[in-house]
Amino acid sequence: MRAWLLPDVPLATLARRHLPAAVADEWIALIRPALHLRPAESGEPEVARLGGLPALPEHVTWPLWEGHGPLSFVASIDCERLPSDALDIALPAEGILLFFYRHSRWEDGTVIESSAPETQAGARVVYLPPGTQTAEREPPESTNPYPLVRLAADVIASGPDWEHPALRAALDRVSDEDRAFMDDPMNSDPFRMAMGEVNLELGPQHRVGGYADPIQGSVEVDVARAQLGGRVAYDDPALHEEAQRWTLLAQIDSDDNADMVWGDRGALYWLIRRKDLAAERWQAASFTWQCY
């Protein structure tokens, strides 16, 4: 049995300490592997990068948000070097994933919002198949590159947030009393603080796969709202049904080493439906961001 599935992993202990027993059982059953990206040590294999210059094919234009300007290059992931066999999502075995985002720090102040689906044009995923001829590309003059940080990967356990749609669906199997406990937002604080302490030990929360580390509620709900047109009530069952279709592709945290600060120490999240990931429909990925 893999380490993140063992009942004595720190997240399982945390759940049993802060959740009703039946809820803890459901939560532990939802634990998934993720890859935590951290600065690579000398001689350690590099699997991803923050910042620097992207390597692009000559025929690929720099990603642009029409009417607003070019996007900033945020990160790249080498799928061949990434230990993705540890994950439960179907990442490509080879090729490069590039992540772009139009950050209002550099540009015109426009932000991507789930209530405004048209703003999804402000973030992009680009996939380069293996064997693609590329060259490092300088960004457009109006876009400043971030400092380069080389990253390695560790397999970690990840668990759903208090409001994650998978956990909310699992609550159908617990008692009314336990559901009432979970419906009281005041009960979430000790659990979320404990989760935050576990994550804090790892440093910036750059992740591939698994669950996101959200700041302001479920990121799956954020992207589902955008997919449903932006104006959907939180208690609409269609919102949560759609949210369950989405899984984290990559999370890029604020990181001083890369001079990346997303709002008030926030994070960027790219999500995708599993069926679109399996078909490598990268244009179907969705984006959200959150900050404190």
| Domain range enclosing 208 | 3-290
Q: State how far the Cα of 138 lies from the Cα of 27, in Å rounded to an integer.
A: 45
Per-residue pLDDT of the chain (292 residues; tens, 9 = 90+): 354 454 457 899 999 999 999 999 999 999 999 999 999 999 999 999 999 999 999 999 999 999 889 999 999 999 999 999 999 999 999 999 999 999 765 456 678 888 888 999 999 999 999 999 999 999 998 888 999 999 999 999 999 999 999 999 999 999 999 999 999 999 999 999 999 998 888 999 999 999 999 999 999 999 999 999 988 898 899 999 999 999 999 999 999 999 999 988 999 999 999 999 999 999 999 999 999 8
Maximal C-alpha separation, the chain: 60
| Of residues 290, 1, 22, the one with CA closest to residue 171 | 22
Within a 10 A sphere around the Cβ of 192, how many other Cβ atoms? 13
SS3 104: coil
Can you give the pLDDT at residue 166?
A: 96
Residue 288 amino acid letter:
T
- The two structure tokens encoding residue 41: 């040590």
Vertex 65: Cα angle to 62 and 68 (nearest 5): 120
pTM of the model: 0.95
Q: State how far the Cα of 65 lies from the Cα of 35, in Å rounded to an integer.
A: 30
- The CATH number linked to 54 is 2.30.320.10
| Number of domain units in the chain | 1
Buried b (16+ CB within 10 A) or exposed e, 207-241: bbbbbbbbbeebbbbbbbbbbbeeebeeeeeebbe
Can you give the pLDDT at residue 5?
A: 53
Can you give the pLDDT at residue 114?
A: 82
SS3 168: helix
Determine the distance from the C-alpha atom of residue 251 to the mean position of all C-alpha atoms in its chain, rounded to a whole number.
Answer: 3
